[in-house]
Amino acid sequence: MAREPEFVFEYLKQVESLAQDVLSDRRDIIELNKKRDKTREAARALKKLDDKSEPVWLCCGNLFINFDQQKANYLLEKDQNSYDEQINKLHSGLKKKVNKLYEAENKPELKGYDLIPISKEEKQSLFELVGKN
């Protein structure tokens, strides 16, 4: 059963790098989510302002920039969309990476992982009550 140390080392390196990949993606998703929530909060705050003509201070990183409200709104919306996009991209990429990791670790494949999810209505049509657990 004994294997050469180089082989084991290589193997462990591979598994670890795959796992690191998954972890860093998870981290990215969380960070993006944080930013998304902050932009959402900002957009809400803008909407609540009574005086629509007054320019606002928008905090970008560590400096404040003075914008008029429409411009600020536009920027926030754009940011929001790009965050959504990036999160979706990471999510779909994450699945493949997890699968790869499982394969490398010799774990059984996750079952039903790459099925296309069914919608609520579709489920309702087939299981009238069982879905309510």
Binding site for other proteins (CB under 8 A): 26, 29-30, 33-34, 36-38, 40-41, 44, 91, 111-118, 120, 122-123, 125-130
- CB 119 → other proteins: shortest distance, Å? 9
Q: How far apart (Å, rounded) are the C-alpha atoms in residues 40 and 122?
A: 32
Q: Residue 51 or residue 121: which is nearer to other proteins going by CB?
A: 121
Which helix (DSSP H) or strand (DSSP E) does residue 103 occupy?
helix 69-104
Are 120 and 69 in contact by the 8 Å Cβ rule? The answer is no
Q: Which is nearer to other proteins, 2 or 126 (CB)?
A: 126
- Nearest distance, CB of residue 116 and other proteins, angstroms: 5
CB neighbour class for 76 (10 Å; exposed up to 12, middle 13-18, buried from 19) = buried
**In the complex, least distance from residue 73 CB atom to other proteins, rounded to whole angstroms:** 16
Q: Please, what is the end-to-end C-alpha distance for the chain in angstroms?
A: 47
Our CB check for other proteins shows the closer of 64 and 113 to be: 113
Distances (CA, A) of 68 to 46, 47, 57, 80: 11, 13, 9, 18
CB 43, min distance to other proteins, A: 10
13 versus 95: smaller Cβ distance to other proteins: 95
